[in-house]
Amino acid sequence: MIEFKDLSLVYPNGTQGLKNVNVKINEGEFVVIVGLSGAGKSTFIRSINRMVTPTHGELLVDDENILKYKGNDLRKLRTKVGMIFQNYNLVKRSTVMKNVISGRLGHTGTLRSILNLYKKEDMALAYESLKRVNIEEKLYSRADQLSGGQQQRVSIARVLTQQPSVVLADEPVASLDPPTSHQVMKYLKKINREDNITTIVNLHFIDMAMEYADRIIGMRSGEIVFDGPASEVNEKTFEEIYGRPIKEDDIRGGKDDNEQTP
Partner 1 sequence: MNEITVPPKPQKSPTKIVRNIGIGIGLLALYVWAFATIEIPWGRIFSERTIANFDRVIPKLFSPDFTFAEKVLNYMMETLFIAFTGSFMAAILAVPFGFFAASNINRNPFLNTMGKWILNADRTFPEILLALIFVVAIGPGAFAGVLAIAIHSVGMLGKLYSEVIESIDMHVVEAMEANGANKVQIFFYGIMPQVIPEFLSYAIYRFEIDVRASSILGIIGAGGIGTLLVISSRNRNWDEVGMILLVIIIFVSIIDYISTAIRKRIV
Partner 2 sequence: MNKPLNTNVPTGLVSGKAKLRMNLIMLVVLGLYIFSSVMTNSSVLRFNAEFFENVWVMVVQLFPPNWAYAGVVWGKLMETVKMALIATTIAGLLCIPFSLLAANNIVHNKFLYNFTKMFLNIMRTIPELILAVVFVGLFGIGVFSGILALIIFSLGILAKLISETIEAIDMNPLEAIRASGGNTLQVIWYAVVPQVLPQFVSFTLYVFEINVRASVVLGFVGAGGIGLILRQQINFLSYQNVSTIIVITFVVVVIIDYISNKLRGRLV
Residues of the shown chain interacting with partner 2 in the complex, contacts defined by CB under 8 A: 49, 51, 75-79, 81-83, 85, 87-94, 98, 102-103, 105-107, 110, 113-114, 155, 158-159, 162
Residue 128, CA atoms < 13 Å, CB-side half-sphere: 11
In 3D space, the residue among 167, 219, 158, 220 whose CA is nearest the CA of residue 190 turns out to be: 167
Q: Which does 248 bind (CB under 5 to 8 A by kind): partner 1, partner 2, none?
A: none
Binding site for partner 1 (CB under 8 A): 97, 120-121, 123-124, 126-128, 130-131, 136, 139-140
By beta-carbon proximity to partner 2, the closer residue of 158 and 189 is 158
- H helices of the chain, where? 41-48, 71-80, 96-101, 110-114, 120-132, 148-161, 178-195, 206-212, 235-242
Minimum Å gap between C-beta 75 and partner 2 is 4
Q: Are 6 and 192 in contact (CB under 8 A)?
A: no
Q: Which does 120 bind (CB under 5 to 8 A by kind): partner 1, partner 2, none?
A: partner 1
What end-to-end distance do the CA atoms of the chain give, in Å? 27
By beta-carbon proximity to partner 2, the closer residue of 77 and 209 is 77
By beta-carbon proximity to partner 1, the closer residue of 52 and 139 is 139
241 Cβ contact list (under 8 Å, min separation 6): 34, 35, 218, 219, 220, 225, 226
Minimum Å gap between C-beta 6 and partner 2 is 25
By beta-carbon proximity to partner 2, the closer residue of 77 and 125 is 77
Minimum Å gap between C-beta 148 and partner 2 is 13
By beta-carbon proximity to partner 1, the closer residue of 118 and 226 is 118
Distance CA 35, CA 44 (A): 11
Minimum Å gap between C-beta 127 and partner 1 is 4
| Helix, coil or strand: residue 29 | coil
